Structures are given as C-alpha cells and as structure tokens.
Amino acid sequence: MVRCNMRCMNIAIIDENRARASIIEEGLAGIEGDIHVITGREGLLAKIEQIAPDIVLIDLGNPSRDVLEEYFAVSRALARPIAMFVDESDDDAIAASIDAGVSAYVVDGLAAGRIRPLLDLAVKRFNAFARLQADLAEAKGKLAERETIDRAKRILMDSKRITEPEAYAELRRKAMSSSRRIIDIAEAVVTAHDLLGGS
Amino acid sequence: MPTRDLVIGFLPLVDACLPILAQEHGFAEDEGLNLTFLRDVSWATVLDRLLYGHSDAAHMLAPLAIATTLGVGRPARAMAAPFVLGLNGNGITLRKDLAARVCEPGTFGDPQAVGKAMQVEVQAALAAGKRLRLGVVHRYSSHNYKLRYWLAACGIRPDEEVEIVTVAPPFVADAMAGGEIDGACVGEPWNSLCVERDVGTIVLATAQVWRRGVEKVLAMRADRLDERREETEALIRAMRRAGRHFVDPANWESNAAILARPHYVGGDERLILRAISDRPVLAHGGQPVSFPDFMFQHSEAANFPWVSQAAWLYSQMVRWDQLDYAEEASRQAAGVFRPDVYRTALKSTGDDLPGANSKVEGSVSQLMQVGAQQGSITLSENRFFDGRTFDPVDIPGYLATLD
C-alpha cells in the first residue's frame, strides 16, 4: 500500500525561475514520484487541477502564492483537500524551508514522514541555488573590480608616463598609506579622471 | 541612546507609506530606531516572514491578521495589531464598457445607484450563461469584505451571482486587459494603473461603502510584540509623526517621489501622487476628481485600533466563510487590535487618544465630539452606505439583519 502511494506521489514545483526549478527537479530525482514543473503564471490553477498534486513547492517570491492559497482554501470543500504544510510538530522544518525561500503545501493526510525528506531535499537545492547566485554575483563583482583597476593603471601610465608595474605600485602605495583598498583608490582615480574631462 | 533595528515587511501599495516615511524623514531615528524593509509580492509571504521571524512587524491586511489568530485555514498563531495604517484608500474599478453602463465615467457614482445598475448587468450576464468575475487581493482582506458588503446590500449574491477571485494587485490591470476579470477592488496605485492603461474605469471608492472603514494594520506576532514592546511603542510614535507629514499638502509631491522608488512601492510617481492627494483620475484622459477621504491616514485618531473595527471584520468572516459565530473566537478576533499598546505609546505626547476602545461603527452622521483620554477628538461622518450600524456587543443580532 505504502509502496504504491510512494510511486503515485505527484509533486508540483512552481517557480518562475526556470534555472532554479530545474535544479530542484534534479535534486528530487531520487524521490519516487512524478515531478511536474510549472514556470509560467498563465493557467496555473488549471494545471494544478490537472496534476492533482500531493505536494506543491513554491518559491516565496512567487506572486501567485495568494492565488494558489485561495484555490487551496476553496479546494477544502472538494474531495482532495490541500492543506498548508504547517504541521506544528515539524516547525523546524518549515522554518528551514522559509529561510531557504520555499513554501510547501501538502494534501491532507499525507504522512509527515514522507514529506520531511522531500522538503529537506528541496531546501538543500534552494540553498545551493542561492549559493550559486552569490558566487556568480561575486565573480561579476571581481571582474568589474579588475576592469576598474586596469583603467586606473592606464590613466596613470598615460598621465605620468610610467610603466604598468609602476602604475600598479603607485596605486598600492596610496592604498597602504591611506588604509584603503586598491579598488577604492582605483575608483577615485577613474572618477577624478572622468570629472576632469578625460576620456 | 543606542539605535535599535526593526525589520518591516510590506507589499508595494501606497498605504505602506507610514513606516517608510517614518524612516525616510528621520522620525524613526528620533525615536532611536532604524527601520529596514522587506518588500514582497504576496501576502502569504509577508505573513510567513512575520511568523518565522524574518520581519518584526508588517504592513498587513487586517482580516488576515485576525484569520491567522483564529487559525482559519492554518494552525492558529496569535497576532497583534497595535496601529491601524490607514482607513480606506481602495477603489472599485470595472472594465471600461461595463463601467460606462453602470455610472457616468469620470465621476464617482452613488453606491446605491451603481449597485442597482450593476444588478441589471449581473442578471444580464447570468441570462447569457455567464457570471461576472470580480477580483480582490485576498480572501481575508477588507477589499473582499467591502466589495461583498456593497454587492449584497444592492441585492447581488456574491458567491452565487458573481464570482469573486483572488488577483495579486500588480496583475489587476493585466487581468482586466486580458478579460480574466470584469472588475476588481484593489488598493492604489493599481486602480490608477488600470485607468492609465485605459483598461478600466474607477467607479467607486471603498470610502463610499463605509466612510471610515479599517484598512491595513501594522501586524506583529503577539509574542514578538511582548519582546519588543518598547521599540513597537517608539515605532508608533514615529508613524504618528509620519502621518502628520503625509497629510500635509506641502509634502505630497516629495512623498510621492519617495514612495515611487523601486525598493518601496515603485512605479509612476504621478499615479502615487493622485492617491495621496485624494485626487484620483477615474477615467482615462479625464481630470482628477477630488475626494477628500479617499485615503485617510491620520486625522480623527485614524490610526487608533478600535476593537469594534476588528469585531466588524470578524462578523464579515463569519458571514462569508459561513463559520458558526462563537463567543470565544469573537473575543480573540477583537483582541488582535491592541489599543492598550497604542495608548501607552502616545501617553504624554499630547496626541489624541479616545476615551473608549470600542464604538458603534457607522453611527456618526454629523461632526461629533467624543470623549478623549487626551487631546480633543471630533469624529466626522462614518456611515455605511446602506445606513446600517454595527454594535460590537451583538454580532449575531447584526448578522441576522444582513442577507
């Protein structure tokens, strides 16, 4: 009986961010069940009705959450009521999922023991995605920093007729003597240069 | 005094203005507070962040705070609302062609007359095998309750003769343009956006349904309020000063510009200005129409959390969710509003404090001086459009007169 239920479990992932949705989908691949990913807003409720999910995972930033909750509230009068996953005995799990940025809804009567592993996986995947994004943002920031430092070096080389290593040494010296970062000095050089009408 | 931090959750709506302006104009800082803001796009997420501690307080639909306390649809969590962020400020906007048949576009209609014309439209749609679909922002919203109150009092049965659906405010204009809904009751600037995009016409302000109807509240988890009582009271004082600033015409333009910043409400500051100056443009290309009580954020102790207002919201929850009236639930619902906190926050500031915590709602038809604990309060007309009054002492009796 339980085995059949496991196989029949329908999981819906609603996320307008396609990349994140596929990362979560991939993370849940080990779970026995059918995974359905919905990324668009259009016809959302009709799709949910068709899938008849046992579990719905939706990101906290999704503008359709209120519409979805309204649908669940109405569905309580129907044969397959969906409740919000806020079984208070598992409040830590919910807190972790909210921290990760995902909320979950489950069909009434689904055993907590079957929800927990799935939710844990989803949380891990959400956190992994957030880390990826942070890494990407950091990498982009580093790239931008390097470009600014290169520009500052060129400005110094042109205006003071010095070599590249000398220009860099100058930036570094100024940074050390004023206890600031090299990038801050470079930004100041570039800004001053722009303000004074340089190109 | 060390600075204390409070995190405030909100949805991009003009009536999130008071905490935002309290921070921007330094009123929070004067109270030793630093407010940071968490902007979300669904009430479900604003609520989750409150319940799981991402935020300390939030701009929240008053009925949602009550439903959460009562455990309607989810396990109960005790909420507290020590400050009403404003009264009304919402509009009822209809598809252009429908609006043209029920009122004179560009003017606020009479709610009785518009309702009567609306009933004809509802019946015509039913005869053609359709139900008009009207959007509200949430099941547990004053928008839902005021729309239903108006329809029902005009002889239209909300769940049978029209369909009321949830639409997130930023998508109301899209939904109307796409024919998904025939109208909506929503806050600003989203009615004005429908007008601007020429997809809808504003026909009524919710202030016409109930002249002094409670709208958003500052909501907190009740235990969080206990833990952070001092900061909460400081926030209340800062928001009262922000309200004084907000209603001064000299500040309308600068405040509209602040609210229009993308990390706050965002969007077009001209549309925000229409709402905060109580001069909405009702039909595309039209002139602004002055409606002095369109938004009501400060005067007449507007921020005081009257427990009778919470009780009215509970009465509507019973009415439309078909709950059984229960004395205990009624007491809990009324207890979400916390005039005691409001009073201690403003005691000795000289600000107006009413003498009572509860009143018969809708009973004031002309200027009326009311008893005050401090200051001087004159209430102006606060009627429901159908002339009914709500006495919080007898909710079952009130409900029996409805339907």
DSSP string of chain A, one letter each residue: -HHHHHHH-EEEEE-S-HHHHHHHHHHTTTSSSEEEEE--STTHHHHHHHH--SEEEEETT-TTHHHHHHHHHHHTTSSS-EEES--GGGHHHHHHHHHHTEEEEEETT--HHHHHHHHHHHHHHHHHHHHHHHHHHHHHHHHHHHHHHHHHHHHHHHHHT--HHHHHHHHHHHHHHTT--HHHHHHHHHHHHHHTT--
Tokens of A124: 């891990």
What's the gap in Å between the CA of A59 and the closest CA on chain B? 9
> Which of chain A's residues have a Cβ under 8 Å away from the Cβ of B170?
63
A168's CB contacts (< 8 A; 6+ apart) are: A149, A153
pLDDT(A12) > 50: yes
Instruction: Band the pLDDT of A20: cuts 50, 70, 90.
Output: confident
pLDDT of residue B135: 97
Q: Which of A67, A73, A76 faces B168 most closely, judged by CB atoms?
A: A67
For B271-281, what is each residue's pLDDT tens digit? 999 999 999 99
Q: Cα–Cα distance between B199 and A12 in angstroms, integer? A: 34
Cross-strand pairs, B378: B369
User: Could you give the C-alpha distances from A19 to A16, A39, A134, B84, in angstroms and in order?
Assistant: 9, 10, 15, 41
List residues of chain A with CB under 8 Å from any CB of chain B.
41, 60-67, 69-70, 73, 76, 83-84, 86-88, 94-95, 98-99, 103
Mutation target to probe the A interface, by most A beta carbons within 10 A, among B43, B48, B70, B138 is B48
- The reply to whether residue A64 touches residue B48, judged by beta carbons under 8 angstroms, is no
The better pLDDT of the pair B218, A119 is held by B218
Q: Which of B45, B53, B166 faces A67 most closely, judged by CB atoms?
A: B166
Instruction: Band the pLDDT of B224: cuts 50, 70, 90.
Output: very high
Angle at A128 between CA A123 and CA A130, to 5 degrees: 95
Query: Would you say the pTM of this structure is higher than 0.80?
Result: yes
What is chain B's mean pLDDT, rounded?
95
Task: Label residues A55-76 b or e (16+ Cβ within 10 Å = b).
Answer: bbbbbbebbbbbbbbbbbbebe
Q: What is the CATH code for B90-209?
A: 3.40.190.10
Ordered by where they begin, the domains of chain A are 2-134 (3.40.190), 138-195 (1.10.10.10)
What would the mean pLDDT of B294-311 be, rounded to a whole number?
94
Percent above pLDDT 90 for chain B = 90
Q: At what angle do helices B307-321 and B62-70 cross, to 10 degrees?
A: 70
Q: Which of A66, A88, A99 faces B138 most closely, judged by CB atoms?
A: A66
Domains of chain B, residue spans: 90-209
> Which of chain B's residues have a Cβ under 8 Å away from the Cβ of A88?
75
- The reply to whether residue A61 touches residue B45, judged by beta carbons under 8 angstroms, is yes
> Which of chain A's residues have a Cβ under 8 Å away from the Cβ of B43?
65-66
Tokens of B287: 């002139």
What's the gap in Å between the CA of B382 and the closest CA on chain A? 31
pLDDT(B21) > 70: yes
Q: Which of A63, A88, A99 faces B168 most closely, judged by CB atoms?
A: A63
DSSP-derived secondary structure letter, B12 = S
What is chain A's mean pLDDT, rounded?
83
What would the mean pLDDT of B230-253 be, rounded to a whole number?
97
Among residues B41, B20, B82, B280, the alpha carbon closest in space to that of A101 is found at B41
Residue carrying the six token digits 């409805």: B402
**At A55, phi and psi to the nearest 5?**
-135, 135
Q: Cα–Cα distance between B22 and A180 in angstroms, integer? A: 34
> Which of chain A's residues have a Cβ under 8 Å away from the Cβ of B53?
95
pLDDT(A77) > 80: no
Choose the weakest-confidence range: B47-56, B70-79, B305-314, B393-402.
B70-79
Report the greatest alpha carbon distance in chain B. Answer: 68
Inter-chain CB pairs, A–B, below 8 Å: 62
ipTM above 0.85, yes or no: yes
DSSP-derived secondary structure letter, B155 = T
For A151-190, what is each residue's pLDDT tens digit? 999 999 999 999 999 999 999 999 999 889 999 999 999 9
Measured between CA atoms, the residue of chain A closest to residue B178 is: A42
pLDDT of residue B322: 86
Q: Cα–Cα distance between B365 and A45 in angstroms, integer? A: 45
- The reply to whether residue A61 touches residue B41, judged by beta carbons under 8 angstroms, is yes
> Which of chain B's residues have a Cβ under 8 Å away from the Cβ of A76?
73
pLDDT of residue A1: 29
What would the mean pLDDT of B103-112 be, rounded to a whole number?
94
CB B259 within 8 A of CB B22: no
For residue A156, count other CB atoms closer than 10 A to its CB. 22
Cross-strand pairs, A37: A13
Angle at B272 between CA B270 and CA B278, to 5 degrees: 105
According to DSSP, the β-strands at B79-84 and B216-221 are antiparallel
Q: Which of A60, A84, A95 faces B45 most closely, judged by CB atoms?
A: A60
